[in-house]
């Protein structure tokens, strides 16, 4: 039977362009879904069946996630019974339904192997197809970064949300890492200059400030303690967090002395117990990028540092460094394996890549969790090697029904990990 609402909508749709008519129908489906009682499903949408992990401290369990035609989660349930017979059902017993991944360290201006990228929009236009629902670009020319930045607004269709730092702040004649080249740095030689640059970046729309404390192989100059302090104070005065690229014990200490909020990498210089405890006491978050160091042959000490940081309770965030690790921005199973091996376990690695990275400085509009009533920023994936999605790379396609990422996986040569037991999460 055709309802009065449908008849009215049909009459209106004849006067609307096809795209607007479809949006109107989806909107009506959303309104109806909110009227449903427990046990019912939306009149339009998709049900995803498998092992459901809603993120955070929840435990994986068999279940169903129901999404309406507008891409909003309307139910998370244990059984398929009670679902409308016309509802599209995807997934199965060998699938996992998990929050989408947020990569807290990418370089959209560089391709794999640190080659210049003509246009980061090429990746962003299909970003959800990689399994990423959020990314944070660290060090790009400001005009380029601001074209990618999504800020407080919803991202363009099929884009992940994008937070940007703009250029990394380095000392005059200082070392420029390959992934910072091409205009991805700005010079700060004095405290006054540092304050002016930070205020300008904040006014122009940067989401956070990146400070480059890296002498490089030639032992070049780095910002002095006074300049570092000026950067942090000016950024905090404008409400922006500061992330430091600091890999050695001395420069990590300099960053902590000034009050930075995050480290862009797990340091490669072996950290002592005092410094690890300072990071933990200060609540400083650390982005992993472990695989990028292993790809360069310098990952052993970084991995040992990561294990010490996990043991001390320092929050680790999932981040790949993209161009540094010779991969395009995408979910990297090797990075998940490295995080798991550092002591987080496989489910802990997924937490680092979802809820923890969604809380990275500058990232907005993502929670890293599946929540009823909220948009479905997630992946439905089938692991390649075991019963845990952290053991397979997400290879994603978009659903034309609800515009959400549905994932497939491919085999990976990442580290073999322990089975997903309760004690290894």
Per-residue 3-state assignment (H helix, E strand, C coil) for the chain: CCCHHHHHHHHHHHCCCHHHHHHHHHHHHHHHHHHCCCCCCCCCEEEEEEEECCCCCCCCEEEEEEEECCCEEEEEECCCCCCCCCCEEEEEEEEEEEECEEEEEECCCECHHHCECCCCHHHHCCHHHHCEEEEEECCCCHHHHHHHCCCCCCCCCCCCEEEECCCEEECCCCCCCHHHCCCCEEECCCHHHHHHHHHHHHHHCCCCEEEEECCCCCCCCCCCHHHHHHHHHHHHHCCCCEEEEECCHHHHHHHHHHCCCEECCCCCCCCCHHHHHHHHHCCCEEECCHHHHHHCCCHHHHHHHHHHHHHHCCCEECCCCHHHHCCCCCCCHHHHHHHHHHHHHHHHHHHHHHHHHHCCCCCCCCCCCCCCCCECCEEEECCCCCCCHHHCEEEEEECCCCCCEEEEEECCCCCCCCCCCCCCC
Percent of all residues in the chain with a pLDDT value above 70, rounded to a whole number:
72
Q: What is the pLDDT of residue 376?
A: 85
Percent of all residues in the chain with a pLDDT value above 90, rounded to a whole number:
54
Q: What is the pLDDT of residue 122?
A: 59
Q: Considering all CA atoms of the chain, what is the largest pairwise distance in Å, rounded to the nearest integer?
A: 77
Reported as a pLDDT band with limits 50, 70 and 90, residue 29 is very low
Token digits of residue 403: 């515009």
- 129-143, 173-187, 240-254, 339-353: least confident range: 173-187
Question: Is a pLDDT exceeding 60 seen at residue 96?
Answer: yes
Q: What is the pLDDT of residue 75?
A: 94
Report pTM: 0.80
Which is more confident, 194 or 82?
Answer: 194
Sheet holding 132-137, edge to edge: 101-106, 132-137, 161-164
Q: What is the pLDDT of residue 256?
A: 98
Q: What is the pLDDT of residue 253?
A: 98
**Spatial separation of the C-alpha atoms in residues 31 and 313, rounded to whole Å:** 43
Which is more confident, 247 or 42?
Answer: 247
**Spatial separation of the C-alpha atoms in residues 142 and 151, rounded to whole Å:** 14
Q: What is the pLDDT of residue 420?
A: 35
Query: What digits encode the pLDDT tens for the residues 312-342?
Result: 999 999 999 875 444 455 788 899 999 999 9
Angle between helix axes 273-281 and 249-258 (nearest 10 degrees) is 30
Token digits of residue 278: 């300072």
Q: What is the pLDDT of residue 159?
A: 84
Strands 209-213 and 242-246: parallel
Q: What is the pLDDT of residue 424?
A: 33
**Residue environment code for 126-162, b if the CB has 16+ CB neighbours within 10 A, otherwise e:** ebbbbbbbbbbbbbbbbebbebbbbbeeebeeebbbb
Within a 13 Å sphere around the CA of 39, how many CA atoms are in the beta-carbon half?
Answer: 2
Residue listed under structure tokens 């404008």: 238
The rounded mean pLDDT for the chain is 79
Which is more confident, 268 or 1?
Answer: 268
Question: Is a pLDDT exceeding 60 seen at residue 18?
Answer: no
Query: What digits encode the pLDDT tens for the residues 250-279?
Result: 999 999 999 999 999 999 999 999 999 999
Domains of the chain from N-terminus onward = 4-99+370-410 (2.30.40.10), 101-358 (3.20.20.140)
Which is more confident, 413 or 52?
Answer: 52
Reported as a pLDDT band with limits 50, 70 and 90, residue 15 is very low
- 128-137, 269-278, 365-374, 411-420: least confident range: 411-420
Task: Count the neighbouring beta carbons within 10 Å of the beta carbon of residue 169.
Answer: 30
């Amino acid at each position: 039977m055709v309802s009065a609402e449908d008849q009215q909508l049909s009459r209106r749709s004849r006067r609307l362009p096809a795209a607007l008519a479809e949006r109107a129908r989806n909107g009506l489906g959303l309104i109806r879904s909110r009227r449903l009682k427990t046990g019912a499903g939306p009149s339009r949408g998709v049900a995803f069946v498998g092992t459901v992990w809603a993120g955070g401290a929840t435990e994986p369990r068999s279940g169903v996630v129901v999404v309406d035609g507008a891409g909003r989660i309307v139910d998370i349930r244990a059984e398929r019974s009670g679902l409308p017979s016309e509802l599209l059902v995807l997934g199965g017993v060998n699938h996992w339904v998990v929050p989408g991944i947020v990569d807290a360290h990418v370089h959209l201006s560089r391709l794999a192997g640190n080659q210049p990228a003509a246009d980061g929009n090429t990746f962003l236009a299909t970003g959800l197809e990689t399994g990423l629902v959020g990314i944070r670009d660290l060090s790009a020319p400001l005009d380029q970064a601001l074209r990618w930045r999504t800020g407080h607004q919803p991202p363009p269709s099929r884009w992940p949300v994008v937070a940007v730092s703009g250029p990394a702040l380095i000392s005059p004649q200082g070392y420029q890492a390959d992934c910072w080249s091409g205009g991805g740095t700005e010079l700060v030689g004095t405290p006054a200059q540092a304050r002016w640059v930070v205020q300008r970046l904040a006014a122009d729309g940067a989401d956070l400030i990146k400070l480059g404390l890296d002498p490089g192989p030639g032992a070049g100059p780095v910002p002095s303690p006074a300049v570092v302090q000026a950067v942090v104070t000016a950024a905090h005065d404008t409400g922006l967090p500061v992330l430091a690229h600091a890999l050695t014990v001395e420069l990590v200490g300099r960053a902590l002395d000034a009050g930075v909020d995050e480290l862009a990498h797990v340091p490669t210089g072996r950290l002592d117990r005092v410094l690890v405890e300072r990071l933990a006491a200060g609540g400083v978050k650390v982005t992993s990028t472990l695989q990028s160091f292993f790809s360069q042959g310098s990952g052993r000490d970084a991995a040992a540092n990561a294990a010490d940081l996990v043991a001390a309770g320092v929050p680790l965030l999932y981040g790949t460094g993209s161009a540094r690790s010779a991969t395009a921005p995408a979910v990297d199973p090797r990075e998940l394996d490295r995080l798991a091996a550092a002591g987080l376990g496989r489910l802990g690695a997924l937490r680092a890549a979802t809820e923890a990275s969604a809380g990275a400085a500058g990232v907005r509009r993502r929670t890293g969790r599946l929540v009823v009533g909220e948009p479905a920023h997630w992946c439905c994936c089938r692991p390649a090697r075991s019963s845990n999605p952290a053991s397979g790379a997400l290879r994603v396609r978009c659903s034309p029904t609800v515009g959400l990422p549905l994932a497939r996986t491919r085999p990976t040569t990442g580290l073999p990990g322990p089975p997903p037991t309760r004690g290894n999460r």
